Structure 1
């Protein structure tokens, strides 16, 4: 249920991958959009450009990136490629097609820009000149590819592709071509929002010369029923050539069925192209080991590592291996924060990364010589990626007041300059609400960071309905994120004050704070929620008769739990994809390691006191106390928390004669990804709140 910083380019990818060639039509942007009001609407929220992946040229002078724009009436996203000087300046749009381009990068020699496109009918690797001219298809892989990387030596390309290894019912019974059924013998037959499709994502390599692939591709995982990268969120950061181009490192969890469902034990494997052997570099390390990245001289490998098997929110550590000796060093023993997105400096002396830090995400520097860490940036923002570019860093950054932009960061001062300014024309027409950082004392005398977001034209002499925002995850920091769904500026634009606490069980405040929630779902974190809303409700501008609480995922669980315990604080509740019945959730989710760890075991082992405490706090056991109007939202393709959880909560509310509404999306998963569904979500969200809190 945790996770997951979603890839902003997914909508573009979905539009690109329909499997048939599109007619030649122009692309679409909202760059020149003029709005009628300074107050944001759902339609305006979906009109922002979304910066996708960013890549710096080998000489550090040019940045290539993608931007996606949504055409609301078509319910479609268009993605194109842009370049700009790394030092800042005007950007140039170098593709303008109906067929979306994505996964953009530089060829190692810097002479070509590479990208994926389904222009030819399925997804293949293409190259073009840095000015966008002369696009050429590089791969001609039957069935298309899903990701790619060049060997630094430029003699090979690796790619990922799904390989069918399991039998369908039509393979078993070819005389029944119209039969429609599945036969399952073990767990993990569906994951996140897809049923198992009898295929496994594998890593291949193929020779490359003169701008084209040559010969036949080699599957380095032939016959193996495992995924690399990891499903469902792993990307090409989990696969890498060694600098000499002779080996491929990849992340994989080589477990099947029940064993895979209960474990997070992924490892990093090194495949030798010369002798076709595979070595497990992290054997005996029991948690997630992911994202191998090599020093420029090829002597060292850094990666992200969690210690404990089954715990997806464990401390994310920085490990480095000496490849000659096999010696592994944990450089995180003396720090109490996580590492994400490791990137080597050109000289191999420094590793750059990002980390959660007290409500924001910052850039950090690790000096290999003396094993020292230093924090580079500091502010009210999220830095989500970082890459060296000469004497600067190129990063992406968001906040609650603006979507993702590309930032040039001075590593000496930490100062960041917005060099992309993709959304400046639209932002200039809008008025954003103030974002305030408060520290509130909890019931156990701890300091808790709470964000308070005010309406754009806030008047301290007025009284405003106020919303408590309950975070999902559960271990996912309330940071400076920007979303097309849970967008605090969108809520504020509708004249609500938002109270967003970093309650117990969130990263960025030390591992003890993060871990406290496991086994204590109805405990201290719920007290933290109530403390936050009670404290802010003391303000004269808060309408205490019209308080609401909203949240998704674990935040949705929180809403159901608060419904039975809030003691008439709230007049409206909204739960999106929340857990209603913990016992049922344990038996119907897909990644069993999550519920098994956080609930401290199953619900039938009555001797397990910690687990019994968890299940005793299931929201469905307190419905006799429900008395508050509630909106329940769920997607049919949510396999993490199946929609029957939301249906059960809604049905129960109506059987108790509580005013309730059920918003059901047949084609959505744990999120709402479609543009028009997203706008509908916003409209219904505020229609319900306004009915209950603005009477």
Structure 2
């Protein structure tokens, strides 16, 4: 069938179907996934659970119930279970069939919102499950619909962590709840014969006797913070004895599951803490072997540093206390300088599957566990080379093949099957955008460059050209600066900062990964500490010079720079320094105007680490890299975007910058969303964001506007002082 590409506009990006990772059934014939899309014509979102036939690539709708989510295969059959959010806040467990979408029933309902469903087969017809949900202080499941409206809106706090991400901290905490889905024995006298029913749910953290423990870890914790097997549940949580605003230290808890329904004093799970003394930092990706007897997880060494290197910890037997740090070295730095993002056991439990960021890609490796104490990085087997792996699961029960979900800068969702014994022989199951062709995009648009930055260190950048690129012609430059600052631009799809959207306007988009970026070795990531406006800024200057001197298809006289979060900090820093005069316009999204504004942030460990201490002990460190000190030199037109519910970088930062620009008579604009946090998630808001940003930069480089300017102004007159 011929592909009719559409112009890749913000409307297409935001409205295009978004697929989750897919999960195959035991036979490896079908895979289930969720898909959402948004229509700007009806102003409505669609939500679907779908199943794809792996051989034919045909997809079938299972349900488009807007409350349906978290589909999972029940056992070795083609039956599915998913969660359904109800209007009263309760959650139902719905049983359906992959080949008979009209045959569904409710196995049971729990009295509140839960998510992150995981299943494990205990025996045929008997499945254990775990979900996450908010718990009241007494351990019961919290339902916000049951809360009576108070007579006052006041909130009193006596310790750190007043707010987190986009909400005020409340007494309800995340918890893991477990229970059973059990098939009723066949009997002619029972009307529900052969159907699954829900046992109810129990709070694992409460029955384990753990006080102050919260898991999944807010604000982004989910299924990656716990794992289940027939015999155990493992989960991670921040150390409850330390304040989460100033510490990242975590513990891993291993809870044996002697019963999945009720407990006595003898059978209650006694959670065992798994932690290696030298590794006192954050943890991630706890997973169990198939029988629940072994654990693997990622853990950092340094408390208070969220971007420290993840070490792989292997616990062959939680009961005897043996814990092995993979690639351990005598100097404590570790033999592998990359930082894995996820780990899992292979189907036979004899090796680990490791996802890691590496030079602008998300790579999948396999590592044998034999002689785990002595294994070296050269034992790693690389299974992928391009794009960015998002998830990996077995392609079928008892099969060594892997089902991999990934994306790239031009392909929003790619599913493949890989045989680790022949990783170069890749079976493509499905590409949502047909390799980008549906959007008019192609892999040939993506290139990369290396240049010498601060202290002559090599710096990497991805390059995205317009689909209509013609050799010999020149194109304006969009210089995108990533956030973090310990982050990176990767060959990965994004629905918020998508380089291809800018490229299709007619820009050559260059995304440098300066000092502090991840995926280039831990020393390079760590080197930004105490250097916010130092080495990274030099890298950006050197990168711009490299583009001027070497990329003859880039018109650097028509250049714009954009950044969010730390990238927003960097655009403000650039504004006050010579590089700022190289750009026709700047865009700052939720950035930093003054370093003292960091004191209003929620996770205080972040500035304490990066600035090497609190402001009263190292005031010079805080002052040295403060963009507000250099407002005398501000000259370049600048768009400021800052959201009301951003509690990481408060709106005062954006307003302060905009007020300075206005007082100095510099052409500027301010866009805010009262209902958005550090990101812009509402589709209609996202469309306005894109139109405002693109219209702003396009007018300074003589590119056409993407839309008519909406009438959103307050009517205030421009002030020049």
Superposed displacement of residue 119, structure 1:
5.0
Question: 1:56 maps to what in 2?
Answer: 24
Question: 1:619 maps to what in 2?
Answer: 627
Question: 2:691 maps to what in 1?
Answer: 683
Q: Does 1:239 align with 2:226?
A: yes
Superposed displacement of residue 218, structure 1:
4.2
Superposed displacement of residue 281, structure 1:
1.8
Q: Does 1:421 align with 2:431?
A: yes
Q: Secondary structure at the match of 2:327?
A: coil
User: Which of 580, 592, 601 is the equivalent residue of 2:593?
Assistant: 580
When structure 1 is superposed on structure 2, of 39-48 and 659-668 the one drifting more is: 39-48
Question: 1:14 maps to what in 2?
Answer: none
User: Which of 92, 112, 120 is the equivalent residue of 1:124?
Assistant: 92
8 Å CA contact 1:266–1:290 kept in 2: the answer is: no
8 Å CA contact 2:410–2:435 kept in 1: the answer is: no
User: Which of 95, 103, 106 is the equivalent residue of 1:137?
Assistant: 106
Greater relative contact order structure (CA < 8 Å, 6+ sep): 1
User: Which of 28, 34, 49 is the equivalent residue of 1:81?
Assistant: 49
Q: Deviations over 1:228-264 (max 9, x none)?
A: 11001111222223x343x3222111427x7211111
Superposed displacement of residue 215, structure 1:
5.1
1:299-314 equivalences in 2 (<5 Å):
299-314=293-308
Q: Does 1:462 align with 2:473?
A: yes
Q: Distance in 2 between matches of 1:80 and 1:32?
A: 26
Q: Does 1:148 align with 2:121?
A: no
User: Which of 411, 434, 440 is the equivalent residue of 1:402?
Assistant: 411
When structure 1 is superposed on structure 2, of 387-396 and 262-271 the one drifting more is: 387-396
1:17-416 equivalences in 2 (<5 Å):
38-86=6-54, 88-119=55-86, 121=88, 122-131=90-99, 132-153=101-122, 154-165=126-137, 177-210=150-183, 211-214=196-199, 217-221=202-206, 224-241=211-228, 243-245=229-231, 247-255=232-240, 259-273=243-257, 274-282=267-275, 284=277, 285-323=279-317, 324-333=319-328, 334-370=335-371, 371=375, 373-389=379-395, 390-411=399-420, 412-416=422-426
When structure 1 is superposed on structure 2, of 513-522 and 415-424 the one drifting more is: 415-424
Pair 488,681 (structure 1): closer, same or farther in 2 beyond 3 Å: same
Q: Distance in 1 between matches of 2:542 and 2:436?
A: 37
8 Å CA contact 2:384–2:423 kept in 1: the answer is: no
Superposed displacement of residue 438, structure 1:
1.1
Question: 2:502 maps to what in 1?
Answer: 491
Q: Distance in 2 between matches of 1:225 and 1:126?
A: 32
Superposed displacement of residue 429, structure 1:
5.7
Pair 110,525 (structure 1): closer, same or farther in 2 beyond 3 Å: farther
Q: Secondary structure at the match of 1:612?
A: helix
When structure 1 is superposed on structure 2, of 449-458 and 280-289 the one drifting more is: 280-289
4+ residue stretches of structure 1 with deviation over 6 A? 31-35
Pair 91,101 (structure 1): closer, same or farther in 2 beyond 3 Å: farther
Pair 618,34 (structure 1): closer, same or farther in 2 beyond 3 Å: same
8 Å CA contact 2:597–2:649 kept in 1: the answer is: no
Q: Distance in 2 between matches of 1:175 and 1:295?
A: 44
Structure 1: which 5+ runs fail to align? Answer: 1-30, 167-173
8 Å CA contact 1:51–1:405 kept in 2: the answer is: no
Superposed displacement of residue 130, structure 1:
2.5
Q: Distance in 1 between matches of 2:108 and 2:304?
A: 38
Question: 1:23 maps to what in 2?
Answer: none
Pair 392,629 (structure 1): closer, same or farther in 2 beyond 3 Å: same
Q: Distance in 1 between matches of 2:59 and 2:148?
A: 57
Q: Distance in 2 between matches of 1:155 and 1:385?
A: 23
Question: 2:191 maps to what in 1?
Answer: none
Question: 1:647 maps to what in 2?
Answer: 655
Q: Distance in 1 between matches of 2:359 and 2:670?
A: 35
Q: Deviations over 1:323-370 (max 9, x none)?
A: 242111011332111223222122111111211111111110011114
Superposed displacement of residue 520, structure 1:
0.7
Q: Distance in 2 between matches of 1:260 and 1:54?
A: 34
Q: Secondary structure at the match of 1:348?
A: coil
Q: Secondary structure at the match of 1:591?
A: coil
Q: Deviations over 1:538-589 (max 9, x none)?
A: 233322322111111111111000101134211110010111111121x111
8 Å CA contact 2:48–2:63 kept in 1: the answer is: yes
Q: Distance in 1 between matches of 2:603 and 2:547?
A: 37
8 Å CA contact 1:629–1:659 kept in 2: the answer is: yes
Q: Secondary structure at the match of 1:138?
A: strand
Q: Distance in 1 between matches of 2:222 and 2:309?
A: 20
Superposed displacement of residue 69, structure 1:
1.5
Question: 1:21 maps to what in 2?
Answer: none
Q: Distance in 2 between matches of 1:552 and 1:329?
A: 39
Superposed displacement of residue 216, structure 1:
5.8
Q: Distance in 2 between matches of 1:208 and 1:176?
A: 35
8 Å CA contact 1:293–1:342 kept in 2: the answer is: yes
8 Å CA contact 2:514–2:539 kept in 1: the answer is: yes
Q: Distance in 1 between matches of 2:42 and 2:112?
A: 27
When structure 1 is superposed on structure 2, of 571-580 and 366-375 the one drifting more is: 366-375
Q: Secondary structure at the match of 1:143?
A: coil
Q: Deviations over 1:96-143 (max 9, x none)?
A: 424243222222444422222225753333221232342222331112
Q: Distance in 1 between matches of 2:132 and 2:441?
A: 44
When structure 1 is superposed on structure 2, of 494-503 and 66-75 the one drifting more is: 66-75
1:515-530 equivalences in 2 (<5 Å):
515-530=526-541
Structure 2: which 5+ runs fail to align? Answer: 139-146, 184-195, 258-266, 329-334, 704-721
Superposed displacement of residue 409, structure 1:
2.2
Give RMSD over aligned pairs: 2.6
8 Å CA contact 2:27–2:76 kept in 1: the answer is: no
Superposed displacement of residue 590, structure 1:
0.6
8 Å CA contact 1:34–1:426 kept in 2: the answer is: no
Pair 528,85 (structure 1): closer, same or farther in 2 beyond 3 Å: same
8 Å CA contact 1:148–1:160 kept in 2: the answer is: yes
Q: Distance in 2 between matches of 1:124 and 1:537?
A: 59
Q: Does 1:560 align with 2:566?
A: no
Question: 1:447 maps to what in 2?
Answer: 458
Question: 2:710 maps to what in 1?
Answer: none
Superposed displacement of residue 177, structure 1:
4.7
Superposed displacement of residue 402, structure 1:
1.4
Q: Distance in 2 between matches of 1:282 and 1:91?
A: 46
Pair 491,408 (structure 1): closer, same or farther in 2 beyond 3 Å: same
When structure 1 is superposed on structure 2, of 297-306 and 648-657 the one drifting more is: 297-306
When structure 1 is superposed on structure 2, of 261-270 and 156-165 the one drifting more is: 156-165
